[in-house]
Structure 1
Amino acid sequence: MLVKKKSFNRKKYVFVLFFLLVFRVFSFNGFAQNQEVLDIKAYLEQADEETIYPSEKQIEMLKNVIPNEVFQPAPKISDRVFWNEVAETESGKIYFKKALSYLAEAPEVPISDEIYRRANKEGNRTIYKPRYYNTMIRLEHFILAECLENKGRFVPQIKTYLRAIMGMKSWLHPNHDDRNNSVLEGKRVSIDLGARRFGSVLAVAEILLEDQLSPELRDKIKAQLQYRITDNYLESCKIPDKNNHWIDGKSNWNAVCTSGAVFTSIANAIDGDERIAAIGSAINSMKHYISGFGADGYCSEGVGYWRYGFGHYLYLAEILFDYTDGKINLFEGHDPDKLNRIADFPENFHIQNEKFAPFADGSSIVKNNEGNFAYVLAAKQYGARKPIENILDQAVEQLIVWKNPEDYTTRNTTNSGTFEVPNHSYFYDFGMVISRGKQNVPFSVAVKSGHNKENHNHSDVGTYILVLGEDLISGDIGAPSYRAGSFSPTNKARSSWGHPVPRINNTLQSNGRQFEGKITETKFTDAEDKVVIDISTAYELPVLESLSRTMVNDKSSAGTITIQDDFKTTKPVAFGTAITTFSKYKIVDANTIILTGKTQKIKVEIKSRGGKVVINPEPVPVEHMREGKGAVRIGIDFEKPLASGSITMKYTPLFN
């Protein structure tokens, strides 16, 4: 009998222990509330259309899914089991080694008022931006390295950096302040791409380091985060203003700034109602951000801003999923199918050899040194192709991976096989086509219709880019570097003057949503692709009856790509088109040009109907361009005005 009783008690003890562990898991973050999941579509239907701030009905819905405690993104430094395990991992050792290399470096902020004002006036980012991000990156490494080692070695520098950041009059990038530098002067507070990260770094320090920081220092951090981030964010959500213009925007700014403001608020704000309001505002705000993508998943900002903007959307989704134990799921959001297509955008937008179309302010290459967390999360959540390594450029990203390393494995390059890109990609909503050649030296083209009020807009309806091998041999020259005047619609690299599109009666394309192109015909086969675009509505010209651009990619042999513009007007007009390129050019005769890129060469044969054309090369008068130096616009212009005609440019690779 005694033996049976003893055996029964042991089983009961194990059962009770198991129950307590299960209860702890399901009540993590301090709540064991209604286990419902927020219906985001239904939530958005209750929004107040006049403001981003959640309505009373939305707040009631959120109360059922948001915990009572602040967000804890990772275990605190006192949890030595967790941090010692991380310290023994390969990534932990690499991170710690990098932190040691920074240890002797002093913070590079605050910058002087003189440099701040100069950067604002000139738009010169080089005189402040490296200092900002060097400071942030080093402090992040010191914080996590101290958690890994726990010997106090990094604490003096952490305190120095924290005080330096809190001593800044403005956390903004100087060129994001107004002309009067009113944030610097203390007349207002604002959140931008820099401020949101300064806030996140300080929040991580306060959350993780516990009594490694004095109560006075922690209180000062919390007060600054409340004032500079949470109060400012919620006020702008309540009353739309120009202070934080991004809150209802469609560009990367919205996702980046919102994710930072929300992280800081849910990790720092003592008032639970403020945490609810911050999350509720973010969900409303992200509806606007996602609407900036095409229904086909197209990102008009390009692959670089997809990485930056959508990466922060996914990061926001991750922290809200974690904080609410899965009850708020922005990975599905209000349109799961569209989010899947957005996640697949880089693969579909890729032309060949890691090259992308540099349309608008996009980039032709992906800079992995700037981080690839967007790819990491897209692979995890949507089944996109895994990257071969995880490159995490922020501490908050590193914490996510360290907490759940099994969720973030990389692609095995030895067993992954060859990734075969399709013969073409067609973004039907935005009107953009990539036609890929499959030759030994592939010859491909990306061409778009689009409209002239896209994110980071260029006046570029009908633009294209040709890629031969790894060379962007001809076509769109991409974005001017961000300096004073770079965003002006009259900047010749931003206006249609600096794009390979027609100019009619010295009239360029107009800006606005109504100035758009329409793809009117497509044909896709293994041997040939054809796209016809009506680009007439991109111009404000009453005399213009029709203007179409036809692209044909003949994939036989070495390949030929033809661009043909056909026009008709009610009276004779001066008409011309252009070749824009960074390649060296040689005018062989009145109808032939040779373009020589970094490794490839191409022949351009020019034909016209209706009259004779002349070749008019001139340099693009924009010194600082992202894609290279020495851009040229080679005008192909009719000698005399015509009421109808066409210009054809046939591109053929040349191999010695």
Structure 2
Amino acid sequence: MITEFANDRKKPLSCFSPFPQASDRKSWDSLPEELTSRLIKNGEAYLNFDYPSLTAVDYMEFTRNGNRSRFQDKLFLRRTALNALVLAECAEYKGRFLDDIINGLSLICEENAWQLPAHNSYIRDTPPSILPDVTRPVIDLFAAETASVLAVAEYLLRQELDSVTPFLSKMINKNLEERIFTPYLNEHFWWMGDGISHMNNWTVWCTQNVLLSAFTRELPQTQMEDIFKKACKSIDYFLAEYGDDGCCDEGAQYYRHAGLCLFNCLEVLNGVSDNAFLPAYKIEKIKNIASYILTAHIHDVYYVNFADCSPIAGRCGAREFLFGKRTKNEELMSFAAEDYHNSEDPLTIEEHNLFYRLQTVFTHGEMISFAKSPIVHRDFWFESVGLFIARDEHLYLAVKAGDNDDSHNHNDTGSFTIYKDGKPMFIDVGVETYTKKTFSKDRYDIWTMQSRYHNLPTFFDGGTQIMQRDGSDYRAKNVNHQLGTSVCHITMDLEAAYPDERIKSYTRNAVLEKGKEITITDHYEGDLPRPVLSLMFYEEPMISENTVQIGNLGSLLIEGAVRIQKEVIPITDERLKTSWKHDVYRLLVTMDHKDLTLRIR
């Protein structure tokens, strides 16, 4: 698909000029004064900045005790500080920020490696080395991201850096060549794709940043062609695994690293090829990838979440707006513009990709002035992932069918989430802060990954709990759905999601009767004792016989239960705290016989 556009282009490749350089004062001085002032103020916070030290022992900590955060936080701070300083200098243009910029550029080039400790390996899903091999660079997400930060910073301030010394640009170009361009063309990293292995957001995220790094400078034409062709091939591998419906199987949060990075890949490719890739934006699959985020939106900050996705997946902004503009989706443009307007951090000062920040700066005015229209959410069935979405004026129902082989998978086949009046009622907790264990063979020892902490049944063989297992074999079967104007429903059998043949059948039927209620009906057939259904809540459920009051939101009537117990689950993890400001709750509902019905109003 993408390779075909590459082969059909008529002109030689050119450099990519993403946005005006700092020396283009007409463009930078035309930005709104209020925006310019904010950029300068953000940069002033880093004047005379003491960039944090990155030690070898910090790097080794991931291998030694599994902690990712301490090293990463300092590494990311270096980049966010540099970005703020660069944008401030571009906005003010008095040279006041240049020394701190030069310090940042030099320190990042002095780092032994740009890949994260968690990614310091050459073969997918193998244990990382305790320290990097400086003779053989690894291109991971953040090596590529670092390259683009340096490349875009150097592009913006090329003239100003050169006035200090030409050796600064030479230093950056040397590091890009040795750490990115040479290994990119001479090594095979798994995320590049081979037509067999599963791809995920890494493919387009890394490719986007390699393209930005390469095409913002003069390279030999043959090298440009080689990078260009390899990038197109990787994007084709990525798209081949995407369903035509555009659903991101990593969830709304990872849409920002999957769908939106695909968009920026296309933007760079288009920019260097005299618009040879414009027809790509008319392809139905790519248009659906763009609009996925709008369909997955629930209300305000909330999105339907499964796998490692958080329910608070981040506000939309310039990238969504521009993707909507390219695909001629005015609903997405309006949604993104409204979300940008409501954002607590519209200038994304914590973002460590400088190109994204430039997109925001130069799209700010258009988003602020864009005509807003009411958001129209559709009921939808994403067949490629098995995601069912239905809503009425008050209730929102999402059900995850599919299988347990998603990227960033949780064992959540058949689970559901319910919101009422835009607030979480039945929840998917999400994922804790990533550690060494998160992407290891012990992943499913983590409670948030397990089916018993989703809205799903657990079976028992004596004292042994039987939960869902991960993999494509563990899936929903006999899935049927209907999206109607008054009733929407989905039914499935979850027997195959569990690794025990004594479970003959576990059918789940979820129905939204619009303007009335949601009904979940479960039926079990098998040789194991009656299962226990877990139900997860954000607001405290108050039990009164077979009726449960869910905070001040609504009620749950349970039919067919012999026992209902409540647990409090403390929220202590920092990542979970971003979504859940207090403890969450779990009800354990033991089935009386074969049938259990939940009525939610």
TM-score tier (shorter): 0.7 to 0.9
Q: Which has the larger radius of gyration?
A: 1
Q: 2:2 aligns with which of 40, 44, 48?
A: 40
Q: 2:57 aligns with which of 114, 118, 135?
A: 114
Aligned to 1:102: 46
Aligned to 2:438: 486
For the residues of structure 2 that align with 1:552 and 1:216, how far apart are their CA atoms?
Answer: 66
**TM-score normalised per structure 1:** 0.78
Helix, strand or coil: the match of 2:384? Answer: coil
1:195 aligns with 2:143: yes
For the residues of structure 2 that align with 1:75 and 1:374, how far apart are their CA atoms?
Answer: 18
Question: What letter is aligned with 2:521?
Answer: Q
Taking the TM superposition and a 5 Å limit, the aligned residue runs for 1:409-558 are: 409-410=366-367, 412=369, 416-422=372-378, 424-438=379-393, 442-487=394-439, 488-505=443-460, 506-518=465-477, 520-556=479-515
Taking the TM superposition and a 5 Å limit, the aligned residue runs for 1:608-627 are: 608=560, 613-618=562-567, 623-624=572-573, 626=576, 627=579
1:159 aligns with 2:102: yes
Aligned to 2:124: none
In structure 2, runs of 5+ residues without a counterpart are 122-126
Q: How far did 1:412 drift?
A: 4.7
Q: How far did 1:579 drift?
A: 0.8
Aligned to 1:128: 71
1:355 aligns with 2:355: no
Helix, strand or coil: the match of 2:256? Answer: helix
1:226 aligns with 2:174: no
Percent identical among aligned pairs is 23
Deviations 1:233-273 (A, max 9, x none): 2223xx45599999965322221111111211223462322
Aligned to 1:25: none
Q: How far did 1:177 drift?
A: 2.5
Question: What letter is aligned with 1:433?
Answer: F
Q: Retained in 2: the 8 A contact 1:191–1:244?
A: no
Question: What letter is aligned with 1:553?
Answer: L
Q: Retained in 1: the 8 A contact 2:459–2:530?
A: yes
Question: What letter is aligned with 1:636?
Answer: V
Query: Against the structure 1 CA distance between its residues 392 and 330, is the aligned structure 2 distance closer, same or farther, given a 3 Å change threshold?
Result: farther
Q: How far did 1:149 drift?
A: 4.0
Query: Against the structure 1 CA distance between its residues 399 and 582, is the aligned structure 2 distance closer, same or farther, given a 3 Å change threshold?
Result: closer
For the residues of structure 1 that align with 2:90 and 2:388, how far apart are their CA atoms?
Answer: 49
For the residues of structure 1 that align with 2:472 and 2:218, how far apart are their CA atoms?
Answer: 40
Query: Against the structure 1 CA distance between its residues 100 and 548, is the aligned structure 2 distance closer, same or farther, given a 3 Å change threshold?
Result: same
Q: How far did 1:518 drift?
A: 4.2
In structure 1, runs of 5+ residues without a counterpart are 1-38, 44-57
Question: What letter is aligned with 1:312?
Answer: C
For the residues of structure 1 that align with 2:284 and 2:383, how far apart are their CA atoms?
Answer: 15
Aligned to 2:116: 173
Q: 2:518 aligns with which of 541, 561, 565?
A: 561
Q: How far did 1:459 drift?
A: 0.8
Query: Against the structure 1 CA distance between its residues 462 and 164, is the aligned structure 2 distance closer, same or farther, given a 3 Å change threshold?
Result: same
For the residues of structure 2 that align with 1:552 and 1:243, how far apart are their CA atoms?
Answer: 42
The count of aligned residue pairs is 568
Q: How far did 1:96 drift?
A: 3.0
Helix, strand or coil: the match of 2:466? Answer: coil
Q: Retained in 1: the 8 A contact 2:3–2:229?
A: no
Deviations 1:506-526 (A, max 9, x none): 321122122222463334444
**In angstroms, what is the RMSD of aligned CA positions?**
3.1
1:344 aligns with 2:291: yes
Q: How far did 1:373 drift?
A: 3.1
For the residues of structure 1 that align with 2:42 and 2:111, how far apart are their CA atoms?
Answer: 26
Query: Against the structure 1 CA distance between its residues 290 and 245, is the aligned structure 2 distance closer, same or farther, given a 3 Å change threshold?
Result: closer
Query: Against the structure 1 CA distance between its residues 362 and 246, is the aligned structure 2 distance closer, same or farther, given a 3 Å change threshold?
Result: farther
Q: Retained in 2: the 8 A contact 1:226–1:269?
A: no
Q: Retained in 2: the 8 A contact 1:166–1:224?
A: yes
Q: 1:380 aligns with which of 291, 313, 325?
A: 325
Q: Retained in 2: the 8 A contact 1:489–1:495?
A: yes
Helix, strand or coil: the match of 2:366? Answer: coil
For the residues of structure 2 that align with 1:246 and 1:365, how far apart are their CA atoms?
Answer: 33
Query: Against the structure 1 CA distance between its residues 520 and 148, is the aligned structure 2 distance closer, same or farther, given a 3 Å change threshold?
Result: closer
**TM-score normalised per structure 2:** 0.85
Query: Against the structure 1 CA distance between its residues 90 and 120, is the aligned structure 2 distance closer, same or farther, given a 3 Å change threshold?
Result: farther
Q: Retained in 2: the 8 A contact 1:248–1:254?
A: no
Q: Retained in 2: the 8 A contact 1:373–1:392?
A: no
For the residues of structure 2 that align with 1:373 and 1:253, how far apart are their CA atoms?
Answer: 21
Q: How far did 1:103 drift?
A: 2.0
Q: Retained in 1: the 8 A contact 2:89–2:97?
A: yes
For the residues of structure 2 that align with 1:140 and 1:419, how far apart are their CA atoms?
Answer: 33
Question: What letter is aligned with 2:475?
Answer: E
For the residues of structure 2 that align with 1:249 and 1:468, how far apart are their CA atoms?
Answer: 36
For the residues of structure 1 that align with 2:193 and 2:265, how far apart are their CA atoms?
Answer: 18
For the residues of structure 2 that align with 1:241 and 1:297, how far apart are their CA atoms?
Answer: 23
Query: Against the structure 1 CA distance between its residues 519 and 349, is the aligned structure 2 distance closer, same or farther, given a 3 Å change threshold?
Result: farther
Question: What letter is aligned with 2:136?
Answer: R
Deviations 1:486-536 (A, max 9, x none): 340222210212111122343211221222224633344444322212222
Query: Against the structure 1 CA distance between its residues 248 and 199, is the aligned structure 2 distance closer, same or farther, given a 3 Å change threshold?
Result: farther
1:212 aligns with 2:174: no
Q: Retained in 1: the 8 A contact 2:549–2:555?
A: yes
Q: How far did 1:73 drift?
A: 3.2
Q: Retained in 1: the 8 A contact 2:298–2:422?
A: no
Aligned to 1:584: 540
For the residues of structure 2 that align with 1:489 and 1:66, how far apart are their CA atoms?
Answer: 50
